[in-house]
Structure 1
């Protein structure tokens, strides 16, 4: 987890998370209405059975008119039961859909408020599972559990009370059958929690292996024809099958026997045998016996809903816990209204900034101090892992520094609102991302009010207009998932067009020509030149020739700022930058057939 003031830290145990019903508070009224209708439906069902018994009694007494009245009442109760069940179904499903929408909206809003470092730490896969799978699991619980509660609790209690009123001996006999079945089932499921955890773990490993196997298919076919990855998938399947087999063996005869006992027929058979004897002995009215026979199966039929509810409760607990964890993620603090700081210009300054990604990790940046004056170009260079990208990501508060300050226009970024901060800085990162929407919509991201003329002007300045017009639908062409319908260079130019349209005074670039081939590099360079005009630019560079003319070059090594200056001065200084430049020149002189150039130690 990430502390919004001091950066990432190890998560501490928090308070006990609310239960299933607490998270359903926004739709609790609808759920209660659904339960009430389900209870009403169950009572109508029992009333139907009672009127059927009275119908038989009236027919045996030769009271045809009364029998017809009881039959009509039974029909109306049946209709009422059907309408009540339908109403309960509608209420529970409407509540489930509403809760699903509220939870997903709330989760999205929470993720928009937390640090982007938290999002990167949790990972897209884990957060996707929470927003999609866990919310869906809660939807299923709300939609299906509401009617079950009436069938699982109200029906058996009312039925038992009626059986006691009709004949306490038959009522206790029916209860004894259910008690026997439940006792055996409880014993059979004595290790259910342990086995359920093993089952869920094995199933998740299978799911992970399937995703890995499918997503890595190009690499799999290239390197091992699928043998290694498929072997992991097969082992996950074998482990899953072993867990299922073990669970089945351990449950064994006891579980199957309990389900036989808990079925309606054993209860009916006991009541039929015992009631028949009492009727034969003249100790029980046949009509009461008939009423008991009609009602007694209501208790047995409640067992299955009880077991389903238990299973659904156990299954949804993990989903609720994960949803609560995301909803409890710490948000980045913002200043109180009227107390926010506002930048005075487009300068960027780091003052003694130290940052680490985790409590047990080494510093990614150590005591970094530099200033990028307004309207200048500052390049960040150094070996891989030196801290260049970390500097770029501290400017928009992906994380907050552990110590020191990051200033924009003299204002601490922690004292600015997110809207103010984002209104100052535009980004073009190496890892571009496009939504599965039209090209025009992707360019408008962050500037939804922009006209089509503005979009075309930005695309033209980004050297993207020509290739966009060659697409099947021009600016209305879908970019595909993550921009999959476009090449890397095309995606990069769309991102540059987006930044041009936003027209923010500070620009952060992370190797914007990374995907450029020789044909497209000139177009990207021209687009960047248009984008950088008049702005404060911080450029994370890996291709040293692209930053020769920078106003200042910052050289990082192992999280420390070791050198700074202009290109010629740094080369003449003989330090790390000079060695990096020497390595670059040696690489340029290499050609196919020659031995690889020996790298000059950095």
Structure 2
């Protein structure tokens, strides 16, 4: 039998840890404070009763001062207790949000690196950081208001029927109309609105992050914001949800709700007029007036109580949607650590009948791919765009796990190697490496935090970075991204190569490492490659075929399958796909812009 599913509030409270008890303490304080807050209204009624009883000789009402002080003391005690309750719920709420962020980050740290390619950083941040903040309102304020209001409402209902059930029923009629109005706004088909609203907000955050990153392209090509159709569409979608909910869903029910809750007294007057003749006839008019004053005073509480319920209910909807976004992060795939990890021996890389399909895709990115890179060999992966080159390379350091088959490193399936050990065995250089906003020293040292300055400097020299250090005001200690200190794409690539050299891993994965380099930088990068790849197993992805001519073996991938494999000479002689790519590459290299005169 399946266990009962926890409510959203229970799930959130589990994140509070040791401060979960503070939430319940705060809720208790809030409930008691609501009871205390009713006493001043009772005191007002008692004062009115005494005045009516001695009218018109008001001096005979001796308890007025006592009731006034009672009202003050209980009002102050109610406020103090309410703030004490909020202090408790806030402490628990802050711990909950903090734990959500910590556990979320800890979970994401276990996710395969490919997860971050499929999920933009803005989306992950919105799902985790912003969603955690959205839970604070519910736990810090809304829960206390809900519990306090429920206690207040029950007590009020009891009091309403204590003296005259007819006038009590008249006062509660406003509450019934209000509840129906709120149900029409938040129930039924509108119950799922908040999830749609938050999904639209997520998409807008993601598109906004991508747009900001693309601003340089916009400026270069003189485009406007309207060229970013995805960003514009996400803004319009979000605007639609916000406007539609306010104008079409909430406008009429909220108008009805406010009209009757703020005017609850209107229901009381007709009933009082109906009952007045009877009270006059039996001589109980003074008691009738006293009861009327009681209900007139307490009818004012109805609007306050119902307003709290409405805002608290919206907080529950918001927190529920936030929890859904948090769960998307918490439920993301993680790399499974082997129960009995094995140590790789050597740097041999083997693909054994490997197939892989991305989540949500119908066509495999790789299908039954098998090849071997012996220790010290250089294997080049080439082929048309979308052929599966980057996918194949990303399976070696377990950016993703294979759907079938296996990828072996040092004779061991990568899934049976401890992830930390595997990462120590593999270094990779991407085509779009990013540097941290830190010094050159710290950027390179990220590969091996315990490395000395001398070791970092040697790695920089091996990566041909001397000219970069010479032009920087503080050499290795210069902070990147501050005071106008920026590096070109080729220079960043050489820093990234220094990082890989310092790591000193036996297996190197190069993904289009010269893609953004100018001719001068490319020469220096090729020299750095000589140091980086010496004596190591290298898996190289390249579109510039001139960089793979000397590879021990070239694997040609097309539509996820191996179309050809062999040395450069063998593949050119085979006159297949690689030969055509080689011919096209040479045409592109020889191509130049000719003047009209030369054409003649």
For 1:213 and 1:51, how far apart are their aligned partners in 2?
A: 61
Identify the match of residue 320 of structure 2 among 317, 320, 324: 317
Q: Distance in 2 between matches of 1:63 and 1:490?
A: 94
User: Residue 42 and residue 206 in structure 1: after superposition, are their counterparts in 2 closer, same or farther (change >3 A)?
Assistant: same
| Structure 2 partner of 1:248 | 247
State the 1:24 CA deviation.
2.5
User: Could you give the per-residue CA deviations for residues 209-262 of structure 1, whole angstroms, max 9, x where no partner exists?
Assistant: 766766655555636655655898499649946983696367665642331111
2:304 pairs with 1:301: yes
- Aligned-pair RMSD on alpha carbons? 3.9
Secondary structure of the structure 2 residue equivalent to 1:385:
coil
Q: Which residue number corresponds to residue 540 of structure 1?
A: 541
Q: Aligned pair in 2 of structure 1 residues 30, 252: CA closer, same or farther (>3 Å)?
A: closer
Q: 2:265 matched to which residue of 1?
A: 266
Between 1:367-376 and 1:43-52, the stretch displaced more is 43-52
What residue number does 2:113 align with?
Answer: 116
Q: Encode CA deviations 1:281-325: one digit per residue, 9 max, x unaligned.
A: 526276555444443322331111111122222233332223223
Q: What is the distance in 2 between the residues matched to 1:262 and 1:473? A: 69
1:355 to 2:356 alignment? yes
**Alpha carbons of 1:500 and 1:275: their partners in 2 closer, same or farther (altered >3 Å)?**
farther
Q: CA deviation at 1:549?
A: 2.6
The answer as to whether partners of 1:213 and 1:229 remain within 8 angstroms in 2 is: yes
Q: Does 1:467 align with 2:463?
A: no
Does the 8 Å contact 2:508/2:536 carry over to 1?
Answer: yes
Aligned length: 578
> Is it true that 1:81 corresponds to 2:78 in the alignment?
yes
8 A Cα contact 1:267 1:297, kept in partner: no
The answer on whether the counterparts of 2:90 and 2:140 sit within 8 Å (CA) in structure 1 is yes
Q: What residue number does 2:441 align with?
A: 440
**8 Å Cα contact 1:17-1:324 kept in structure 2:** no
Judged with a 3 Å threshold, the aligned counterparts in structure 2 of structure 1 residues 479 and 264 are, in CA distance, closer, same or farther, namely: farther
Unaligned runs of 5+ in 1: 1-14, 596-602
Partner in structure 2 of residue 48 of structure 1: 40
The answer as to whether partners of 2:356 and 2:364 remain within 8 angstroms in 1 is yes
Secondary structure in 1 matching 2:287: coil
- Give yes or no for the alignment of 1:177 onto 2:174: yes
Deviates more, 1:569-578 or 1:79-88: 569-578
Report the equivalent of 1:257.
256
**What residue is the counterpart of 1:163 in the other structure?**
160
Change in Cα spacing, 1:377 to 1:194, as seen in structure 2 (3 Å) is closer
Please state how far the C-alpha of 1:407 moved relative to its aligned partner. 0.7
What secondary structure, in the 3-state scheme, does the structure 1 residue paired with 2:405 have?
Answer: strand
C-alpha separation in 2, matches of 1:476 and 1:507: 27
Instruction: For residue 516 of structure 1, report the CA deviation from its aligned partner.
Output: 1.2
Q: Look up the SS of the partner of 1:554 in the other structure.
A: strand
Matched, 1:21 2:21: no
Q: Does 1:90 align with 2:87?
A: yes
Question: Distance in 2 between the 1:84 and 1:275 partners?
Answer: 41
Q: Which residue of 2 aligns with 1:598?
A: none
Q: Distance in 1 between matches of 2:256 and 2:476?
A: 66
Maintained 8 Å contact 1:202/1:240 = no
CA distance 1:211–1:454, change in 2 (3 Å) = closer
Match among 327, 335, 348 for residue 330 of structure 2: 327
Question: For 1:366, what is the secondary structure of its paired residue?
Answer: strand
Distance 1:124 1:93, change over 3 A: same
Change (3 A) 1:166 1:471: farther
Show structure 2 runs of 5+ residues with no match.
none
- 1:411 deviates by 0.6
Does structure 1 retain, via aligned residues, the 8 Å contact 2:389–2:557?
A: yes
